[in-house]
Structure 1
């Protein structure tokens, strides 16, 4: 699986761009999954539900399933958080995994930069950032600068960078 990430400061529009890229790349016939890292405690379950009670009672994993989707909730129980490479092995193979977060991991990334969020460019200190998508010109950027609002061009760059640019007919065979 090819892996490509989006990084940037809070409020720059990483999630918005992720949704637009998903639309664009899937429309081109690619199978795409996503991975989102969060520093916050999160829960997909609700108190009072059976699966929540299973976890509270000590289950290591709880698998939820229905006719529309399934999910596995894995409790770390004090163990270290798995790294991105380990988590990728748990995913069903697809053409592309778009990652939001894991900014310290050495996979190719696109930095999202907005004029309104006045922060220094991360690409100056991170060689894994291969381009910047911005709403302003950045003449001193050491990597290509893409128009943040040209989703097709951003998708083209990512697919080209990963060697995934193929015709729709080639993907069908």
Structure 2
């Protein structure tokens, strides 16, 4: 048992002695991908393009929603004085309008999310190529994209972002 503990201590001691030597030769970088997707000109351009592409449909949907709300308010005011048959027909019509509006809103949201994901995927693929190029050019051994803490000495986010924004 004593021999085993001595051997374990010897191995751990050797590991601790060699670890700083290995760490000195290792070049590590860190990239904050969320910051790049939030602040880079490339990501902002993608967002602006999507906003432009979907803004007309969004305005139309808002107009339809406003019209529907007005119709509901009008029905709530006039409903109690309407004949029963007319009130039932109007409720049915409003229910159909509501279902149609919800379906159109859901379709819009799904299409917007799909296009946003496609566009972000293209930016991420470009970002990955740039990180790989920087890693090879600057001889990094390891570049991480998520960490609880990043020392500014190893943070290469700004370099990656400027390269991404200047790339064609």
Report the TM-score range of the alignment, normalised by the length of the smaller protein.
Answer: under 0.3
TM, length-normalised to structure 1: 0.25
More strand by share: 1
Higher relative contact order (CA 8 A, sep 6+): 2
More helix by share: 2
Which entry has the higher C-alpha Rg, 1 or 2? 2
